[in-house]
Structure 1
Amino acid sequence: MSYSLSQKDYQASLKLSNNKRYELFLKKAAQSGEIWSLANDEGWVTISSEEGENCLPVWPHPQYAEAWCNGEWSDCQPRAVALDVWLERWTPGLEQDETLLVVFPNLKEEALLVDPYELDDGLRAALDAL
């Protein structure tokens, strides 16, 4: 279930470094049991990295994802994936599809780009720390 997010916390978290946002993502996803991304009628939205790699953006809360629902993504909506489903099915599927993860991008399109199993390890460590 999505956690309560104040406007102050929302703004402050977007100003964090890529590494600090990654750490916050792991903590919040573990606590809430959800990972958020964007989807439209055609499915989940992916982007290309500067190197041309297929990437899925993910956020810890729907409000961050919703901020990206404009321009070419105006037909998108934030959608949640339960963390247990993510760990069981999405990690191996993303790895098989050679899709990387853009973790908690800010509005300047800055974020860490990670392999699905690297994110999986981080999420499992965050769950163990609860």
Structure 2
Amino acid sequence: MATPLDQAQIDTINQYDTEQRYKYLLKEVVTNREIWILTDEHGCVMLNSEDEDCVPVWPNQEFAEAWATGDWDNCKAEAISLNKWHSRWTYGLEDDELAIAIFPNQDEEGLVVFPDEFDFELKQQARKTK
């Protein structure tokens, strides 16, 4: 279980650009062994980029919950274990031809990557931390 973030940490991380957010997410997911999504009564919520339908993911509960406002105020942050992500989600997203929106900020800015790329980067990060 991850240590909760304080407001100063959240404010600092919210200033990161998309590449810094991606690196932060990879480190947090590997360290905490969980990745955060938002769900509603229909399942995982989605974002649409110009080219792709995406599943947004966050490194911490606090950032996922910050998105549960407005149209998404009925959504709940849900942690997925890293093992479950590797064993089910990567292939499921590929089969459904979905991309991943990496740690989008409040302006809906974030990198869009394909599930196999994300899986590879997570495994690379795990090797670095051993």
TM-score range, shorter chain: over 0.9
8 Å CA contact 1:3, 1:61 repeated in 2? no
> What's the CA shift for 1:5?
1.0
For 1:46, the equivalent position in structure 2 comes to 46
Give the Cα–Cα distance (whole angstroms) in 1 for the partners of residues 20 and 75 of structure 2: 27
Q: What runs of 5+ residues in structure 1 fail to find an aligned partner?
A: none
Give the Cα–Cα distance (whole angstroms) in 1 for the partners of residues 113 and 36 of structure 2: 16
User: Aligned pair 1:26/2:26, yes or no?
Assistant: yes
For 2:116, the equivalent position in structure 1 comes to 117
Corresponding pairs, count = 129
**Sequence identity, in percent?**
39
Residue type of the partner of 1:123? L
User: Aligned pair 1:75/2:84, yes or no?
Assistant: no
8 Å CA contact 1:40, 1:75 repeated in 2? yes
> What's the CA shift for 1:3?
2.8
The Cα offsets for residues 74-129 of structure 1, whole Å up to 9 and x where unpaired, read as 11010010001101110011011111000011111110000001110110011111
Give the Cα–Cα distance (whole angstroms) in 2 for the partners of residues 82 and 2 of structure 1: 12
Residue type of the partner of 1:120? D
Q: Secondary structure at the match of 1:127?
A: helix
8 Å CA contact 1:66, 1:78 repeated in 2? yes
